[in-house]
Amino acid sequence: MADLDLAGMTFLYSWIIRHTGINTSQDSLNVAVATSILSAAPLSYKVRKRQELEYEILESHLVKSCSFPSMDDWAILMRSNHLDIGADPVWFSQVLSACQYYKFPGYTYSPRSGGVGYNSVSAKLRRAVKTLFSYDGANRRERFCTHMITLAKRLARDCYKYAEEVAAVTTFERGKSLTIHGPIGTGLAGCPIVWSATEMAIFEPDYLAEQLRDLGGWYDSFALQFPSARQIFRDNGLTNMVFPTVNFMAAGDFDHNFVKGFPSVYTGGLRSIRSRGTFGEFTKNGVLDLSDYMVKGWGQLRERFEVSLSEYKQSGFVLV
């Protein structure tokens, strides 16, 4: 059976239908589904190479900048490591990130039009978000979280190995670029990780190695603490809000000086560009305190939701 090609399988199904008298619409549908699965084309070479490049750029960026990964970042890492959740991880991460957002519309500045535009989440995404409350959606969500923990452990191991490579550099001239190649067994095995001459003008290999070891420790801490942070949200009936909160922190929107009722003031105006969040922002005395900062992050994000909802109600539109 395994040696039959598509034509052979199609002939076999048609023979069964003709000689057994089976011709109901459901059986016809089963045959159609079977043949469509068999004929599903694998990813093209171009798509595979694009995904590989996307993965290499992402992990290199996370390692060099100590960035706090967003939901999309975790999804790209899952897809490239073939960690299955029963759906495309990148698509599913968008659904997780949008959870509850459609209830809280808002406004953003559009550089293209030069004005402020209203955000409206599509009906398709609203339906997709509602599936998170189904049994299947909950299973996929749990697998996604499990894979985040697995990947955090892998990234920690990789960072320690990259630190060893950097520490092994014996000849280095200040102001010159520094390049290492990912050791075997790491996510960037054989791939170059380059710190430019501009970056190395203020760094030393020993300092970089120390940074990478710290980052490895933070990823280890993330893997240990993330289940506890999730449990806090679950105990308060906010299980799905873990994911928008992670994105909020990764985007660099967390405000350490936040006071409820007094939103932070951005001096850069509408065109200001916020830096992405890094693990270093969520540490106390060098130790990652994930649960504490995620609870604080959710408090700030909820405040934004409340303001956005209030503005929307005052605008006179009907909230769906």
Quick check: 8 pLDDT over 60? Answer: no
Lowest mean pLDDT among 21-25, 106-110, 208-212: 21-25
Quick check: 17 pLDDT over 60? Answer: no
| 117 occurs within a structural domain | yes
Quick check: 293 pLDDT over 50? Answer: yes
Provide the number of structural domains found in the chain. Answer: 1
Q: What is the mean pLDDT of residues 41-51?
A: 82
| 34 occurs within a structural domain | no
Quick check: 76 pLDDT over 50? Answer: yes
**Mean pLDDT (the chain, rounded):** 80
Quick check: 239 pLDDT over 80? Answer: yes
Can you give the pLDDT at residue 27? Answer: 36
| 319 occurs within a structural domain | no
Can you give the pLDDT at residue 85? Answer: 94
Can you give the pLDDT at residue 187? Answer: 94
| 8 occurs within a structural domain | no
Quick check: 106 pLDDT over 90? Answer: no
Quick check: 173 pLDDT over 90? Answer: no
| 256 occurs within a structural domain | yes
What string of H, E and C letters represents the secondary structure of the chain?
CCCCCHHHHHHHHHHHHHHHCCCCHHHHHHHHHHHHHHCCCCCCHHHHHHHHHHHHHHHHHHHHHCECCCHHHHHHHHHHCCCCCCCCHHHHHHHHHHCCHHHCCCEEEECCCCEEEECCCCHHHHHHHHHHHCHHHHHHHHHHHHHHHHHHHHHHHHHHHHHHHHHCCCCCCCCCCEEEEECCCCCCECCEEEECHHHHCCCCHHHHHHHHHHHHHHHHHHHHHHHHHHHHHHHCCCHHHHHHHHHHHHCCCCCCCCECCECCCCCCHHHCCCCCCEHHHHEECCEECHHHHHHHHHHHHHHHHHHHHHHHHHCCCCCC
Can you give the pLDDT at residue 140? Answer: 95
Structural domain harbouring 113: 46-260+274-314
Can you give the pLDDT at residue 263? Answer: 52
Can you give the pLDDT at residue 23? Answer: 41
pTM for the whole structure:
0.78
| 211 occurs within a structural domain | yes
| 265 occurs within a structural domain | no
Per the model's pLDDT, the better-predicted residue between 19 and 97 turns out to be 97
Lowest mean pLDDT among 75-84, 109-118, 221-230, 235-244: 109-118
Can you give the pLDDT at residue 149? Answer: 98
Place 31 in a pLDDT band, splitting at 50, 70 and 90: very low
| 145 occurs within a structural domain | yes
Can you give the pLDDT at residue 261? Answer: 61
Quick check: 127 pLDDT over 80? Answer: yes
CB 255 within 8 A of CB 282: no
pLDDT in tens, 216-230: 999 999 999 999 999
Quick check: 32 pLDDT over 50? Answer: no
